[in-house]
Amino acid sequence: MRRLLLALCLFPFSHLLWAQAIPTRVSEDTAGVMSTAYWEIWNDAEQARIDADIDAYRKANASFKVGAVKRGTKVKVEQTGSEFIFGASAFNWNQLGTPEANARYRELFGTLFNRATIPFYWKDFERKPGSPRYKEGYTDTEEWWNQAPNPMRQPHWRRPPTDPIVQWCEEHHVKVHGHPLVWGIRKWQYPEWMQYDGIPADERAALDSLEIMVFIGNAASVPSYQHMSPEELSTILPTYVRKEEERTLQRVRDIMGHYEGRIDSWDVVNESAQDFGSGSQDPSKPVCKSRYGIMFSDYTFKSFRVAEECNSWNSLLNINDYVVDERYVNQVGNLLKRGAKIDVLGSQMHLFQPQQCLDIASGKHLDPHLKLVDPAPIRAFFSKLGAFGIPTCLSEITITSAGDGERGEMIQAIIARNLYRIWFSLPSMMGITWWNIVDNCGAPGEPNISGLFHRDMTPKTAYYALDQLINHEWRTSLELQPRKGTVSWRGFKGTYRISWTDTKGKEHSEIITVK
Q: Other CB atoms closer than 10 Å to residue 285's CB: what's the count?
A: 17
The residues, any chain, with a CB within 8 Å of residue 256's CB and separated by 6 or more, are: 181, 263, 266, 307, 310, 311, 315
Q: What pLDDT, on a 0 to 100 scale, did the predictor assign at position 24?
A: 61
Beta bridge partners of 509: 499
Torsion angles phi and psi, residue 498, rounded to 5: -105, 125
Tell whether the model's pLDDT for residue 497 goes beyond 80. Answer: yes
State how far the Cα of 60 lies from the Cα of 56, in Å rounded to an integer.
8
The pLDDT tens digits for 231-247 are 999 999 999 999 999 99
Tell whether the model's pLDDT for residue 395 goes beyond 90. Answer: yes
SS3 track for 458-479: CECHHHHHHHHHHHHHCCCEEE
Give the residue among 497, 493, 496, 515 at the shortest CA–CA distance from 507.
497
Question: pLDDT over 70 for what percent of the chain?
Answer: 91
The pLDDT tens digits for 414-448 are 999 999 999 999 999 999 999 999 999 988 777 79
Tell whether the model's pLDDT for residue 146 goes beyond 80. Answer: yes
Are 21 and 5 in contact by the 8 Å Cβ rule? The answer is: yes
What 3-state class would DSSP assign to 2? helix
Are 490 and 62 in contact by the 8 Å Cβ rule? The answer is: yes
The pLDDT tens digits for 443-483 are 877 779 999 999 999 999 999 999 999 999 999 999 999 99
Orientation angle between helical segments 326-337 and 375-386, nearest 10 degrees: 10
Tell whether the model's pLDDT for residue 219 goes beyond 90. Answer: no
Q: What pLDDT, on a 0 to 100 scale, did the predictor assign at position 6?
A: 33
The pLDDT tens digits for 119-129 are 999 999 999 99
State how far the Cα of 397 lies from the Cα of 321, in Å rounded to an integer.
11
Pairing of strands 344-351, 392-399: parallel
Amino acid at 485: G
pLDDT band at residue 334, thresholds of 50, 70 and 90?
A: very high
Q: What pLDDT, on a 0 to 100 scale, did the predictor assign at position 381?
A: 96
Supply the mean pLDDT for the chain.
91
User: Which 8-state DSSP code applies to residue 182?
Assistant: B
Tell me the Ramachandran region of residue 150: left when phi exceeds 0, alpha when psi lies from -120 to 50, beta otherwise. Answer: left
What 3-state class would DSSP assign to 488? strand
Give the residue among 323, 214, 224 at the shortest CA–CA distance from 278.
323
Q: What pLDDT, on a 0 to 100 scale, did the predictor assign at position 370?
A: 65
Pairing of strands 265-270, 175-179: parallel
